[in-house]
Structure 1
Amino acid sequence: MIDIGYSLSRRFPDPPQTNYRTADARALRHDLFCGDVYVADVKADRELSTAWGWVPVLDFAWALCDIVEQLDRDPRGNRASRPQYAELDFTESTDRLRFERRFGWVDVTADWAPDEPPLTFNHTALRREARDFLQDLLADLADMHDGLDDNPVVWDLRARFSRV
């Protein structure tokens, strides 16, 4: 079972003058909602997590959904034996999460934990959890920030990565 989560940072608050209703995609992805994120394999009781406090949480969720879709480009899907690769790089760091899909399984490794064995997830389950995480995150952020729910970028994001 997969658990994807976040915590917002108190050290890096959003600028108080932010108008969430009109914030553009760049601001939403890179300048707002900083904190930490984790991806966990609940069954194995293992996780990959950041502890930096400055990770753009919405960007992480958005990029994770993009990556899961990118890993599904081979028309053979779960029957594809050739590995497919993707990386999620963190904006202010050289660290990356690396994803490798072979058949229906995705291995996730982190540059900052090179000696840790990969977390392995079913691709379909990872897609579902990544989309659920994004939708739940958007709901949480909209509850905390007036106007975010009215932002066209958020509308587009919700429609593009709807729950599966």
Structure 2
Amino acid sequence: MIDLGYALSRRFPDPPQTDYRRADVKALRHDLFCGDVFLAEGERELSTAWGWVPVLDFAWALCDIVERLDQDPRGSRAARPQHAEFDFTESTDRLRFVRRFGHVDVTADWQPANAIPLTLHHGELRREARDFLHDLTADLTDMHEGLDGNPVVWELLARFPRL
């Protein structure tokens, strides 16, 4: 079972004057909602501990990545590896995703080179990434007045509906 989660940072709060209803894509993806994220499967986990990761950007990008990994028309029958990366904007670290057949291997630059990848089922990762995005935006809209009226958020949730 895949577990995706986040924790917002107290060290990097959003600016108090933020108008969440009018926040643009750049603000939503890079300037707001900083914290840490984790991706786990069973006892194995990849997590950040920096406090500055834009968590909405992570959820958004993860949904994009899962879709990009499904570009081969042969889907889970495709033998050729498909690659994608999540680049943490404030560092050189990346999460790397490689899909082979129906599974996705996830590695992190901050792990030792000989670390065993986190192996996830692609269909389950797609479902969990979308659930994470919807759960995260529900939490954020509960915490930040006006965010539920932001058209960027509406478009995002419509683009990646729950499965």
TM-score, length-normalised on structure 1?
0.98
**SS of match in other structure, 2:37:** strand
**Which of these residues, 85, 88, 91, is aligned with residue 90 of structure 1?**
88
Distance 1:65 1:108 in 2: 14
AA aligned opposite 2:23: A
Instruction: Could you tell me which runs of 5 or more consecutive residues in structure 2 were left unpaired when the two chains were aligned.
Output: none
Distance 2:67 2:130 in 1: 11
Shift of residue 30, structure 1, vs aligned partner:
0.1
Shift of residue 100, structure 1, vs aligned partner:
0.2
Indicate the residue corresponding to 1:41 in structure 2.
41
Structure 2 residue 18 is matched with structure 1 residue 18 = yes
**SS of match in other structure, 1:38:** strand
Distance 1:130 1:116 in 2: 23
Instruction: Could you tell me which runs of 5 or more consecutive residues in structure 1 were left unpaired when the two chains were aligned.
Output: none
RMSD between superposed Cα atoms in Å: 0.5
Distance 1:28 1:83 in 2: 32
Identity %: 78
Matches within 5 A, 1:5-154: 5-42=5-42, 45-114=43-112, 115-154=114-153
Distance 2:124 2:39 in 1: 13
**SS of match in other structure, 1:22:** coil
Distance 2:61 2:77 in 1: 25
**SS of match in other structure, 1:97:** strand
Runs of 4+ in 1 over 4 A off after TM superposition: none
Shift of residue 105, structure 1, vs aligned partner:
0.3
TM-superposition CA deviations, 1:12-38 (whole Å, max 9, x none): 000000000000010000000000000
TM-score, length-normalised on structure 2?
0.98
